[in-house]
Structure 1
Amino acid sequence: MAVYVYSIVASTHPQRLDGLDGVGDPPGKLRTVSAGKLSAVVSEAPEDLRAKRRDLSAHQAVQERLMADGTVLPLQFGFTATDDDAVRTVLEEDADGFTERLRSLEGCIEYHLKAAQDEDALLRQILAASDEARSLNEQIKSGHGGPDLPLTLGEKVAREVQARQDRLSTSIVETLRSLTRDERMTQPTGDDFLSVSFLVAREHEDRFRTTEKELADELGADLDLRLRGPLPTYSFV
């Protein structure tokens, strides 16, 4: 029967799985498959696996329980293998790579930062700083400008928004980088202009969080910084 794989850990890692449910309805029973110095936490894979809230929560709960006791390679939701033997084969064939990755993530956690900006406040800043943009806007408001002026202004504002947000993203990441071991940028969605994951050593966690808070205060209420964590190190596996 197919198995659902949650995480890879060292075989010496505590595996306190009592009281946790696996994915599926009814929930799968959690167990481990071991090969040499590595173990994988697995359960039976449901036939109709989908990213439902209950199953996502069950997957995350396993990661959080394991990471409380040491270093984990958390797999993304939905990873399955044909059977236990297939899991053992992967552990054996990639043993060196998994072991090295566990070593590199030792003592670390992940934080994810997103940033968005108030559009009206940003537009006011651009109009205040740019004589050309301000002139175009005044012509449009007065009704004396030609039909192409709104498009011209829109294009100029869009370029300035992109330039300002690029500079701001760079500044934010550089401010936090000195307190992290690694980072992974992802494509922002919605109104966000920044989406980045940081690999943070636990010994620097308090300072990292404090610095992010100080940065948010410094940048002001028009900028929305949202920090999530500590998280399993999904982005760095």
Structure 2
Amino acid sequence: MALYVYAITAHSHPLDLEGLTGVGYDPSPVRAVTSGPLCAVVSDISEEIRPKRRDLLTHQEVQERLMRDGPVLPLQFGYTAADDSSVEEVLRRDADGYLDTLERLAGCAEYHLRASQDEEVLLRQILWESPEARELNERIRAGDQDPQLPLALGQLVSAQVQDRQEALASGLVEALLPFAREHSLRPASGSDFLNVSLLIPDDRKDEFLTAQSNMAREIDGGVECRLSGPLPPYSFVQ
């Protein structure tokens, strides 16, 4: 029977799996496959697993249960293996790398920060602070029919938005980096201008949360910060 694989831990991990059932239409108990100093946390499956809400929540529940008792290498949703022997072979083959990563992640959790900015607030800032943008806008509002004016204003505002948000994102990250062991920047999407994950040691968690909360409260310009965590360290498993 095929296996769904949730995570890799050290053999010394407590592996408190009691009461956990896995993904799938007919979920099986979550169990461990052991090879030397490592364990893989798995459950038996009899069908192709798709990202349905119930299975996504189950995947995350297993990660969080493991994470509370020690370092874990969480696998992304959907990882499967043919059988126990296949899993054991992977654990044997890559044991040194897995053990090094577990040591690196020990005592840490991932926190994920996204930031967005109200477009109207930002536009008002640019028109107030940029003489060139203000002049172009005033000429358009006064009825100047030059067809190049809207294009010039649009290009100027677009460049200003990019420059300002890049500087703001850099400042936010730099303010939080002293609390992080590692960080991972990803391309922002939608209205966000920042998408960053930080690996925060447990003994710096309170300082980090206080600093982030103060920063979010004090920052102006219509900026909204959204912090998630503590999370399994998906972004830092190599």
Q: TM-score of the superposition, structure 1-length normalised?
A: 0.98
- Partners of 2:157 and 2:221 lie apart in 1 by 21
Identity of aligned pairs, percent? 52
Distance of 1:181 and 1:145 partners within structure 2: 56
Residue by residue over 1:191-234, the C-alpha shift from the partner in whole angstroms, topping out at 9 and shown as x without a partner, is 00000000000000000000001101110371100000000000
Counterpart contact for 2:74–2:234, Cα < 8 Å: yes
Give the CA deviation at 1:145.
3.5
Task: Provide the C-alpha distance between the structure 1 equivalents of 2:83 and 2:150, rounded to a whole number of angstroms.
Answer: 61
What is the CA–CA distance in structure 2 between the aligned matches of 1:87 and 1:99, rounded to whole Å? 16
1:70-107 deviation line (CA, Å, top 9, x unaligned): 11000000011111111000000000000000000000
* DSSP 3-state at the match of 2:20: coil
Give the aligned partner of residue 111 of structure 1.
111
| Matched residue, 2:92 | 92
Partner of 1:164 in structure 2? 164
Shift of 1:28: 2.5
Q: Following the alignment from structure 2 to structure 1, what is the Cα–Cα distance between the partners of residues 203 and 45? A: 37
SS at match of 1:54: helix
Asked if 1:20 corresponds to 2:14, the answer is no
1:45 paired residue number: 45
Q: Structure 1 CA distance, aligned partners of 2:145 and 2:179? A: 51
CA distance in 2, matches of 1:125, 1:49: 49
**Which segments of 5 or more consecutive residues in structure 2 lack a partner in the other structure?**
none
* In 2: Cα distance, 1:55 partner to 1:175 partner: 36
CA contact (8 A) 2:19 2:29 kept: no
What value does the CA root-mean-square deviation take over the aligned residues?
1.0
Structure 1 distance, partners of 2:117, 2:57, is 30
Contact 2:122 2:221 (8 Å CA) reproduced: no
1:122, CA displacement in angstroms?
Answer: 0.3
Distance apart, 1:48 and its partner CA:
2.9
Kept after mapping to 2: 8 A contact 1:23/1:46: no
| Conserved? CA contact 1:110–1:230, under 8 Å | yes
TM-score (norm 2): 0.97
Count of residues in Structure 1 that have an aligned counterpart in Structure 2: 237
Separation in structure 1 between the aligned mates of residue 65 and residue 201 of structure 2, nearest angstrom: 18
Q: What are the residue-to-residue correspondences of 1:199-210 with 2, within 5 Å? A: 199-210=199-210
Measured in 2, the distance between the counterparts of 1:8 and 1:128 equals 54
SS of 1:78's equivalent in the other structure is coil
For residues 1-237 of structure 1, the aligned pairs below 5 Å read 1-220=1-220, 222-237=222-237
Look up the equivalent residue of 1:79 and give its one-letter code: Y
Q: SS at 1:178's partner residue?
A: helix
Q: Which runs of 4+ in 1 moved over 2 A?
A: none
3-state SS of paired residue (1:40): strand
Bigger shift: 90-99 or 20-29?
20-29
Task: Give the 3-state SS of the residue equivalent to 1:27 in structure 2.
Answer: coil
* Ranges in structure 1 where 5+ consecutive residues have no aligned partner: none
